[in-house]
Every structure is written in C-alpha cells, then in structure tokens.
C-alpha cells in the first residue's frame, strides 16, 4: 500500500498487515538539537516525504511534528522538535518546552550536532541537560558533506566528554549519507509492541497545518531580519472543489503595520511571490490544483495570544 496519508484519517491501524514472521516493534524517537542543526531535513529524509519545513534560518520549526517511518517490522515515530536555545519571548519558551517534552516522552533521543558549526552554546546547553537528567542519547554528527574527517573525530571525542552517547553516527541529512544506518539502529532499539499508527500514515499533522507551514516556509525564505520571527501563518478555510482542486485561505499575522507593508511589498509583489511559491509546493505535495488566497493581518500581540499558540499546537501556559 502506498504510504500516502499525511494526517490522521479514519482508518483504524491494521495491525495484521506487518510481516507476521517477525514480532512488531514500535516507538518514538525524538530528534533534538540546536536550531539549524538539520533536524527537519533529517526527518523528511527518514520518512521519505516533505513534512517539515526547512530554511537556512534558525528557529524555523515551532512545534513538535511526527513523521512516521517503517523499517521492516518496526514502526518508528520520529518527533521533529524546535531547536533548543535560550528562550526570550513566551513563544520561544513554549518552543523549547515542546522540544524537551518531545525528548522526555520518547523511547530514544537522537541529538543532532551541526559538525561544521561544532559545539556551540546551544549544544552545550543540551548536553548539560542530558547529563543532568542522566539520559543517554544517540549522537549524530550532521552535515558531514561540509566537514573533513579529522574534524569529525575530534568533535565526537569532545562531545563524548560532555554527555553519554551510544552510539555515534556521522551523517548528512542533505545527501542521505549514513541515514539508513541510523534508521536501522533506531529500529532495533525500539521495544516490541503493536504499531500505533496505520501503516499508510506519515504524520500526525493535518493537511491544513502542513499547508500553513508551507506558506510560513516562504515567509522565512523570502523575508529577512525580524520579519520571519514576527510572523505566523494559519489556514482559515479549506474547500475541496468538485473539479478535484482545493481552495485554501490563509492569514499571515504580523505585529506592526510597517511589517504588513513589507510582507505585501510594493504593489503587492512580495505577497504575490510568497503565494506563488507556496502554491507550487502545495500542488506538488497534495497532488492536485490549489487556489491559494493569502491575507495579511496586523495583530500586535499574536505571540501572546492563546489562539495562535493553539494553532501551532503549543502550550500557552509556559
């Protein structure tokens, strides 16, 4: 069966569908790491679908997102998390809290370190917390396509002095180098048990939510300075048309009238370009025609508004 269903659907898990010669295994694996270490890129590669948005800017991911992969008789439920950093705003605190609770609820944690960047303050904060919690983690030095081998070995040694890691992998989420080894090892580590999701489901996020993320990805890619961080995107309407296409209405919230003017751009050129790229991406993802309508609204306090947190599936009470 093609693994085609993105979000939750009404089909109950078919627990008999797995290889009945081998007992099934199932469990959660949290991907944790500093912002920009490559967690979302790796999640997409492990699952074989674009689920999580990826940009060169830090703090792209704002909430936990499940990506579900199958490795022989094991269902691996990967948890993409926001990067762990020193939070300043309420939104940051909620993001970091979501990341840690993702790690705590998981059977295994995989710490990603950007090998080109090495051990920075954020990574040190994570290794300190792992050590304090007495938590063993698997380590993946990521982005090895950008780093010489000698540097990798010394980085692995330095990290092993910070916390307990077993084993250590060297991978590139971008090229896929080493990723299958990590996946196999994780599958073997997970406990025996029935699969928790239908075998064709690849994420817990709804199509509405992923669609909002795709537009937010363009906001991150096409806007700069404080704007990506001052914006959030929500899907307000989703209408399946009889001709097979879908009409999607989304709101881009910003905090200031001046920011709204920048998002719109001169004669609406910027929002048009954000919409055009997001629509292309959505059509690829949903495999149908998409009519995308974007509205830009000023909500000075959106980053303090419980409704916006709920849309991001973040805990407001941080």
Ligand X SMILES: Nc1nc2c(ncn2[C@@H]2O[C@H](COP(=O)(O)OP(=O)(O)OP(=O)(O)O)[C@@H](O)[C@H]2O)c(=O)[nH]1
d(CA 135, CA 13): 31
Q: Which of 5, 18, 24, 61 binds ligand X (CB under 6 A)?
A: 61
Q: Are strands 246-254 and 137-142 parallel, antiparallel or unpaired?
A: unpaired
98 or 271, CB closer to ligand X? 98
Judged by CB under 6 A, the chain residues 69 through 88 that form the site for ligand X are 82-83
- Residue 16 CB, nearest approach to ligand X (Å): 35
- Residue 12 CB, nearest approach to ligand X (Å): 32
d(CA 9, CA 57): 33
Judged by CB under 6 A, the chain residues 149 through 178 that form the site for ligand X are 172-174
- Residue 134 CB, nearest approach to ligand X (Å): 25
- Residue 225 CB, nearest approach to Mg ion (Å): 20
Helix and strand counts by DSSP (H, E) for the chain:
9, 9
Under the binding rule (CB under 6 A), the answer on residue 56 touching ligand X is yes
Under the binding rule (CB under 6 A), the answer on residue 109 touching ligand X is no
d(CA 186, CA 79): 13
Helix (H) or strand (E) holding 185: helix 179-189
Binding partner of 127, given ligand X, Mg ion, none, CB within 5-8 angstroms per partner class:
none
Q: Which of 146, 184, 241, 284 binds ligand X (CB under 6 A)?
A: 146
Binding partner of 145, given ligand X, Mg ion, none, CB within 5-8 angstroms per partner class:
ligand X
26 or 144, CB closer to ligand X? 144
CA-wise closest residue to 43 among 69, 62, 70, 6? 69
Binding partner of 255, given Mg ion, ligand X, none, CB within 5-8 angstroms per partner class:
none
Judged by CB under 5 A, the chain residues 267 through 286 that form the site for Mg ion are none
- Three-class DSSP category at 290: strand
- DSSP label at residue 279: H
Contact call for residues 53 and 44 (beta carbons, < 8 A): no
Phi and psi, residue 67, nearest 5°: -130, 125
- Residue 146 CB, nearest approach to ligand X (Å): 5
d(CA 30, CA 242): 40
Under the binding rule (CB under 6 A), the answer on residue 67 touching ligand X is no
- Residue 99 CB, nearest approach to ligand X (Å): 8
Judged by CB under 5 A, the chain residues 58 through 77 that form the site for Mg ion are 60-61
* Contact pattern from residue 7 through residue 46 relative to Mg ion, giving x for each residue in contact according to CB under 5 A and a dash for the rest: --------------------------------xx------
Q: Could you tell me where the beta strands, DSSP code E, fall in the chain?
A: 25-33, 65-71, 74-80, 108-114, 137-142, 165-170, 232-240, 246-254, 290-298
Left (φ > 0), alpha (ψ -120 to 50) or beta: where does 146 sit? alpha
For residue 170, give both structure tokens.
């060297």
Residues lying near ligand X in the complex (CB under 6 A) are found at: 33, 35-41, 54-56, 58-61, 82-83, 142-143, 145-146, 172-174
Residues lying near Mg ion in the complex (CB under 5 A) are found at: 39-40, 60-61
């Amino acid at each position: 069966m093609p693994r085609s269903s993105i979000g939750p659907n009404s089909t109950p898990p078919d627990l008999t569908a797995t290889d009945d010669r081998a007992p099934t295994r199932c469990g959660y694996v949290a991907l944790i790491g500093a912002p920009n270490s490559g967690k979302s890129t790796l999640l997409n590669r492990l699952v074989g679908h674009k689920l999580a948005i990826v940009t060169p800017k830090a703090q792209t991911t704002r909430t936990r997102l499940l990506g579900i992969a199958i490795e022989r008789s094991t269902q691996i439920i990967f948890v993409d998390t926001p990067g762990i950093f020193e939070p300043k705003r309420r939104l940051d605190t909620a993001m970091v809290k979501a990341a840690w609770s993702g790690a705590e609820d998981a059977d295994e944690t995989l710490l990603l370190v950007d090998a080109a960047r090495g051990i920075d303050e954020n990574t040190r904060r994570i290794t300190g917390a792992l050590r304090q919690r007495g938590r063993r983690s698997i380590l993946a030095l990521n982005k090895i396509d950008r780093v010489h081998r000698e540097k990798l070995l010394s980085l692995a040694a330095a990290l092993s002095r910070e916390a307990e890691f077993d084993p250590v992998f060297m991978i590139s989420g971008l090229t896929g180098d080493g990723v299958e080894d990590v996946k196999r090892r994780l599958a073997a580590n997970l406990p025996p048990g029935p699969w928790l999701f239908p075998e064709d489901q690849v994420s817990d996020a709804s199509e509405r939510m992923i669609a909002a993320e795709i537009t937010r990805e363009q906001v991150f890619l096409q806007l700069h300075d404080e704007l990506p961080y001052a914006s959030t995107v929500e899907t307000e309407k989703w209408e399946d048309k009889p001709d097979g296409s879908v009409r999607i209405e989304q709101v881009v919230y910003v905090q200031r009238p001046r920011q709204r003017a920048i998002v719109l751009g001169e004669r609406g050129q910027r929002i048009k370009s954000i919409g055009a790229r997001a629509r292309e991406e959505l059509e690829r993802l949903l495999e149908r025609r998409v009519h995308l309508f974007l509205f830009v609204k000023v909500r000075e306090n959106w980053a303090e508004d419980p409704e916006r947190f709920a849309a991001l599936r973040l805990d407001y009470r941080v």
